Structure 1
Amino acid sequence: MNTNAKNIKIAIILVTSLFFLWGVSYGLVDVMNKNFQNHLHITQHESGFLQLAYFGAYFIIALPAGYIASRFSYKIGIMFGLALYAIGCLLIIPATNSASFALFLFAFFVLACGIGSLETSANPYMTKLGDEKNASFRINAAQSFNGLGQFLGPIIGGALFLSITKQDEGASAAQIEAALLANMGNVQLVYVGIASIVILIFIAFWLNKLPEGSAVSKDYEQKDDSKPIGVFRHRHFNLGLLAQFLYIASQVTAGAFFINYVSEHNQGLKDEQGAYFFSIALVAFMLGRILTTPLMKKFKGESILGLYSLINVFICIALYLSSGFISIVLLIALFFFMSISFPTIFAVATKNLPFNQVKLGGSLLVMSIVGGAIMPIIVGLINDHFGTGLGFLSLAPLFLYVAWYGFFGSRIRA
């Protein structure tokens, strides 16, 4: 194996580890929604501000992170993101010590700025670590490890956060305070542990050489004189931006209120049990990527995206009409069919973009994740007044657009 091939292999391994890291963070955030409702006396609508802080950070950091990657290198952009990720995790310490929702929002904002920076660099970098034809396959394979991280998040959160409850009627003030202290202590322990792992990954990137430019892919040898802003002249990219915005809005909302939905539609189900069902949903999410990714060698990724999103339109309608165990099965199925959406939209939207426009295009697609900051607040308000069934029904039109994009809007036109 020559030196360049070895460096590319190391780069793929290291970058794939990043997908796992932000998967763990995302899996924990959805559990924290319910945890804050239980311990910090907030409503579903108010807990949606956690997603606003978390995914709003993507919108703010994407362009600066993209500039750093363009000005210096993907490696520097990734190290910048890892540094912010570690700082955000450590800011959880003062937030837990004071049990302040406002401080938690700030800590998660900084943490998410780090993850947004990682996604801005890692997603386009992974699509370019090889030929353009297999870009969808490559990024979906890496995203499978993201699914593994998302699966572990609710298990950790369910065992250490939601298992501690103060909902028992007649609990004394001392019991409530003890439960709060135990809960905050566990939250602090988990995030300090994550910070330690992130710092170790930072050191690994610092010590290893990552290939850039033509050393990454032959596609980079095809220089052009296009300006980055010219990315907006590509119809399939513009429509892909909206598709990514609406898809992330749906995915984040589904995760944020998963536990609320299963508790409301299954009487007597505890929050801790809801978290375990959520972890099963994220296993389905991971399996969706693992089982579907090989199909992309035979079928177009955009066609699979259209089919899966259309299926989710009908699942959202069924969730509004269902209750009991079947509602849980449907909700888990929703995650299976969402699995390949983000990386496939990313790969399809950036397909055939000139070299000079790829990094700006990647930054804008990461910015579109702000959909996950907006929709949970809206749906949280719907849930508080009309129930979670209607909240999930409101996601159907979003999936319908993504299905249209997969079948028609993603076609590249001269």
Structure 2
Amino acid sequence: MNNKISVFWFRRDLRLEDNTAFYHALASEKPVLPIFIFDDEILEKLPKNDARVTFIYNTLKTIDEELKKVGSSLLILKGNPINVWKKLVVNYEIETVFFNKDYEPYAIKRDKEVATFLTAEGINCNAYKDQVIFEENEVLKKDGTPYTVYTPYKNQWLSLFKSGKDIVMHDCKAYKTQLLQYTFKFPELSELGFIKSTIQVKPYNLLELEAYKEVRDFPALDKTSYLSPHLRFGLVSIRQMVIKALETNATFLSELIWREFFMQILYHFPKVVTENFKEKYNAVAWRNNEQEFEKWCKGETGYPIVDAGMRELNTTGYMHNRVRMITASFLCKHLLIDWRWGEAYFAEKLLDYELASNNGNWQWAASTGCDAVPYFRIFNPAEQLKKFDKDLIYTKKWVSDLDELAYPQPMVDHKFARERALKSYKEV
């Protein structure tokens, strides 16, 4: 009797529809065991009430409930991935493992280690493109090198996209008949070493994308799609989102292309995780004042739009995109604090934290990254407030003490800070 099975490994693709590797697993003609591994390498760095872990857990529970309707279920595992796989190959007669590619440095290293182990065990290992339209080596310059400027990358991306060959939707309805018929106990969150977060991920809303360009810079309007955490963890298909953007708004599509631009930058230039893309800025004399950093983190800078953004982040795990630019610019240029400090803080707090975009956008704000804002462009927080929240609706929502005597004075004068930043950058 042949008891061989296929295994599908969920990672940042937490959905049952239009999921590339899942589709191919279902087509393998072997019963498919779906698994998810809570990776200790990642989890041990997180607080026990991390909102993203709660979000992933709840999403997996929903998937498990869907699978149970057809007599199957999701096997939840925890540990170092290679150790988990060593146990799996003992417990199951696995013929092929299917998963979708991940392009971050840690994920590349992990997947190579797992694939090497599985191959040595005589198990096929099939990886697929899924979280992007074009992966690392598909949008290149004519000489075969990666783009480091966004606009030509975008133009080439669109040109390739219009050829249409890479936009294939995957109908995964076969999961209703092809899955391994077995019911696993779904663990409690506490069994994984975590507790439920009070911060919730909002459902995404694409109903108002037509006006995205006109409304996206005004935080009080709250017209954000809230798509990013869902895209980050793969609850939605990038293919469906790009097609939706094509139908509704070119500006929104451009944001999705920025996401892939930063992903390929991270892949081709992994040094950016810890270093400036533009090496000349290694000589910037960051002040790195810890007390000032603490005020920025708490939203106590005395600049209302900066404080509103930081308090929104600390309370909800979200921050409006325009305000992200203002808060990041303030940290790097008004306070001359290393972008890596801010990037690490956002990584800890943002529900939609994704290494490539977070790193790329912080280096953009600090003028140290590829295709970054020029070093002499320094946002004036008071002018940004007038321009994007003149009625203080967003600001007062988060800075409830704005009109009180206890609200701090600006921690640094804008004109002084601007001149100090210009001097520091010019010196390099």
Structure 2 length normalisation: TM-score?
0.25
- Report the structure, 1 or 2, having the larger helix content: 1
Structure in which a larger fraction of residues adopt strand: 2
TM-score, normalised to structure 1, is 0.25
